[in-house]
A and B are shown apart, each in its own frame.
Chain A
Amino acid sequence: MLLNQFLLLSAVLFAIGVYGVLARRNGVLVLMSIELILNAVNLNLVAFGAFRETVGGEVFALFVIAVAAAEVGVGLAMVLLLYRNRRSIDLTQIDQLRG
């Protein structure tokens, strides 16, 4: 099996995700970028797990999927709260706290 291809794809996904978190202004798109990073992690874990023939990686990936679902649930609630308070989910506009 070619492990490299999976790792390369995962690294690309990770890089796109990091770029998205840093460059995107829309709250929902930032959440999606974070999901991309988490999926890069899952891909890594499953690929390594299959390569090493231990189930540890797959089990870890299941935990990551479950926890990520909870995380995104909270994240969407936060973005909704922001929208209710401000009528906008542009992250560059939330700058009341500084100093």
Chain B
Amino acid sequence: MAHDLLTLAFQRPAIDWHGIAPELVLLSMGALITLVDILFLEKARPYTAGLAGLGLLATAVPLLTLAVDGADRVMFSGAYVIDDFSLIMKAVFLLAGYVVVLLSTNYVAEGDYWENEYYGLLLASVMGMVMMASARDLVSIFVALELLSIPAYLLVAWRKRDLHSTEAGLKYYLMGVFASAVMLYGMSLLYGVTGSTLLSEVGAGVAAAGTSTAVVTMGIVFVVVGFAFKVSAVPFHTWAPDVYEGAPTPITAFLSVASKAAGFVALLALVFVGFYSRSEVWEPLIWVLAALSMTVGNLIALRQTNVVRLMAYSGVAQTGFMIAPLAVAGHGLANGDQALSATVTYLVIYTAMNLGAFAVIISLARRTGSADVTSFAGAFHFAPGLTIAMTVFLFSLAGIPPLGGWFAKFEVFRVLATAGEPWGYVLAAVGAVNSVIALYYYAALARRMWADDPLHGDRNPVPMTPSLASALVLCGVVTLAFGVAPQLVARFTDVSLLALGG
């Protein structure tokens, strides 16, 4: 076989330069930051945050031209695809990355951390996510997953001399690497039974009669479990609260939104393109993950006293809602597409509202240096604007109209209820009960901020910075706009993976 390979002339694959322009821009900006760091060292520090933000915005330009062009592009014999689904997710990753840069600007500069490398790694991680949105091949999914994870491990442990940060980094690293190793084992089995790493061919091979059911089941379960770690679904969520608490808070925001969304993107591509015909395997698995995530996440969130940990468990519960439509996605094409749209809609809206909540947490924690719930008590007396913003984001997370989170939850319930399947109704009921539990702790935090007295009667105002303020305004406007006019988001999230067949 090796001999045959050597005698083949090398043929350069046809590359669609317009199609990979976003990745190229992002890559060159990341390289530029590294170069500026090497050339100017400390003198470059004040400029790298701006450079990183600029890089993310510049990446959005080719993304827009691709969206205007509108044609689906297929590269590398189907391993890399640009379609509506990948474009909307790329836009989410870029915007999330941009907001995280805004959140980091002062946090990193004031904390005396390494700054140039921080933004370089952040861009590398966003690059992995942008690649993940297009990956339709086991190899490219794996490479994108590692490209987004490895910089994230480093960023979590960024506060080098802080034991909490080191502990968080090591836990995240060990859990993440273990999960990706298990996922790889599943992928190797799927490659073995289908003879291809291309998702569309894996899909065809898995569907074919005579394919070993036991091996396929094992492969699918391992891969789904691997990504369940990434999106922090119960019972694979144990790393999330510790990592969120120990990491620098802007990185926590990044993980809770962008990294989770990247895990979902891969999971959606795998389930809809690769495993769709084996719904009897992944539907029950995802049903259990969804029900457990919602219930366990919410119940543990009830007794948290640290707001970052509270957001971690709330994020686990939100994962349950995002994954829930997939539990009934295997019943025909129309139903599958609706489930896909519901999950993507939820991801888009969740990104805006969760980043907004973290922007408030970072602003308020700047004052006392702690994210303990006592730092938030009576915030209305010293930071009325932040309190109003936090209330908006919390109620949006709880799903109260007319805020964005309402539409996200509505879509999920609609898919569950119209699937015409008993298990769908049961999951919808579990979700409804959990919405009420979630409202309790979101509202309890909001009540403390409005009604309680400030800690030690300290009423000094919170020092705001332009970058934090713009992050807040951006997230707030998006959260409100999507709630008042849901057609704005629905227009972009009406995507399909099934009609294309990959």
Asked if A75 contacts B173 (CB within 8 A), the reply is: yes
Among candidates B146, B163, B191, residue contacting A45 with C-beta atoms closer than 8 Å: B191
Q: Which of A66-99 contact B (CB under 8 A)?
A: 67, 70-71, 74-75, 77-79, 81-82, 85-86, 91, 94, 96-99
Interface assignment of A19: CB less than 8 Å from any CB of chain B: no
* A14, A60, A75, A97: the one within 8 Å of B246 (CB): A97
Are B153 and A74 in touch, CB under 8 angstroms? yes
Cα separation A38 to B241 with both chains bound (whole Å): 27
Q: Tell whether B177 is near chain A: CB-to-CB under 8 Å.
A: yes
Contact between A79 and B242 (Cβ–Cβ < 8 Å)?
no
Interface residues on chain A, number (Cβ under 8 Å): 46
How far is A47 from B195 in the complex, measured between Cα atoms in Å?
11
**B160, A38: Cβ atoms closer than 8 Å:** no
Q: Size class of B's contact patch?
A: 35 or more
B366 CB → nearest A CB, Å: 21
Q: Let me know if A81 and B160 touch, CB within 8 A.
A: yes
> Is A16 an interface residue when CB atoms closer than 8 A count as contact?
no
Q: Which residues of A contact B184 (CB under 8 A)?
A: 37-38, 41, 64
Give the CA-CA distance A51 to B167 in the complex, in Å.
43
| Residues A85 and B163 in contact in the complex (CB < 8 Å), given A54-B195, A71-B146 | yes
> Which of B136-144, B285-293, B319-327, B394-402 binds A?
B136-144
* Docked complex: A23-68 residues within 8 A CB-CB of B: 27, 30, 34, 37-38, 40-41, 44-45, 47-48, 50-57, 59-60, 63-64, 67
CA–CA, A40 and B187, complex, Å: 12
- The closest CB in chain B to the CB of A11 belongs to B185
Chain A residues with CB below 8 A from B163, complex form = 85-86, 96
**Which B154-182 residues have a C-beta within 8 angstroms of A?**
154, 157, 160-161, 163-164, 166-171, 173-174, 177-178, 181-182
What residues of chain A lie closer than 8 Å to B309, measured between beta carbons? 99
Roughly how many angstroms separate A44 CA and B498 CA in the complex, as a whole number?
A: 30
| Residues of B contacting A82 in the complex (Cβ-Cβ under 8 angstroms) | 166-167, 170
Given A38-B184, A41-B184, A63-B139 contact (CB < 8 Å): yes
Question: With A44-B185, A48-B191, A48-B192 as given contacts, are A94 and B139 in contact (CB-CB < 8 Å)?
Answer: no
* Contact indicator A56/B197 (Cβ below 8 Å): yes
Give chain A nearest CB distance to B478 CB in angstroms: 32
B191→A96 contact, CB < 8 A: no
Contacts of A71 in B (CB 8 A): 146, 150, 177
A44 touches B166 (CB 8 A): no
Measured between beta carbons, the chain B residues less than 8 angstroms from A38 are: 181, 184
A7 to B305, CA, bound (A): 49
| B188 at the A interface (CB under 8 A) | yes
Q: Which residue of A lies closest to B181 (CB)?
A: A37
Seen from chain A, the residues whose Cβ lies within 8 Å of a Cβ on chain B are: 7, 14, 17-18, 21, 27, 30, 34, 37-38, 40-41, 44-45, 47-48, 50-57, 59-60, 63-64, 67, 70-71, 74-75, 77-79, 81-82, 85-86, 91, 94, 96-99
Known: A37-B178, A64-B184. 18 other contacts (CB 8 A): A21-B178, A41-B185, A44-B189, A51-B192, A52-B192, A56-B195, A60-B197, A70-B146, A74-B154, A77-B154, A78-B166, A81-B166, A96-B164, A97-B167, A97-B168, A97-B242, A98-B242, A99-B305
- Can you spell out 30 A-B residue pairs with CB atoms less than 8 angstroms apart? A21-B178, A30-B174, A37-B182, A38-B184, A44-B189, A52-B195, A55-B1, A56-B196, A56-B197, A57-B191, A60-B188, A60-B191, A60-B197, A64-B184, A71-B146, A74-B150, A74-B153, A75-B177, A78-B153, A78-B166, A78-B173, A79-B170, A85-B166, A86-B163, A91-B170, A91-B174, A97-B241, A97-B242, A98-B242, A99-B241
